[in-house]
Structure 1
């Protein structure tokens, strides 16, 4: 089997799967190929599609791969794809930002930063799968700690948390 054949199979899986897929999941589907072969082919495909003016590119979302459109083309597809079911309110965005930058973090810590109870906002983010429970702290009450998910990266079109913008603080000059 040729390299071109493997790349064709990978494209077919990415198209049919329609969600980010990990090398682990891909290797279960394309079981005749090693994880190394799959990873190498995928990385080549990412480079090839980025260097060409291909409509679809392959994005890496925290080591899970998916077909996506180019960022520059988003304006043409906004009317086709409504994210209304995942529309985020200001309070949800505020809570999500705190979690993204401070993770892992507990609800009590989020509440202290925001100055209000954040439970309903956290529930909404959990429902949208933008955050997940990442474990429990070894303290009295064993509070749940939260962190962002791969869906968070996908929603904001980030490859990793390192792509989050730096937080700028303004100092009062009084």
Structure 2
């Protein structure tokens, strides 16, 4: 059996009242049941990134901002990514967009997927995220997890504020498909990058 791939779960909301912690914990629990990956959390709250203000992208020149370089170092060691994002006005959070812009080389030729949440399961944010990922030379996979509508209201503080176990049966097939594909692509692209 191949060595487990290292996947970063990037928590894309930094708001004090964010909902992200609950689905992040659920994704970590689902991942611990697998032996083909390790899922480690990179929380944007821990990086305190300033707004992107470099002379150019990291693709073209080294960043001058130490916090940006720390972020670049943090993301570069992974074989793939799961982005956890709320949907703000049909897109991803501003904090996540800024974090994506602050790095480049670490993303290249690695797979990504997402878990979105919002009224329509964060579907528009996830689709927008995929187009950004293509420009950063990531490989977006087909499967993602979408928490929306009535299921979101079962677990959101704006609704019943129940545990994620209340929606596990609905979300689990999507999470399994996402992790299966993410592992496959991470292994394939890791091998290709090594060549």
* TM-score range normalised by the length of the shorter chain: under 0.3
Structure number having the greater helix percentage? 1
Q: Under a length normalisation based on structure 1, what TM-score does the superposition of the two structures give? A: 0.24
- Which protein is bigger by CA-based radius of gyration? 1
Q: Under a length normalisation based on structure 2, what TM-score does the superposition of the two structures give? A: 0.22
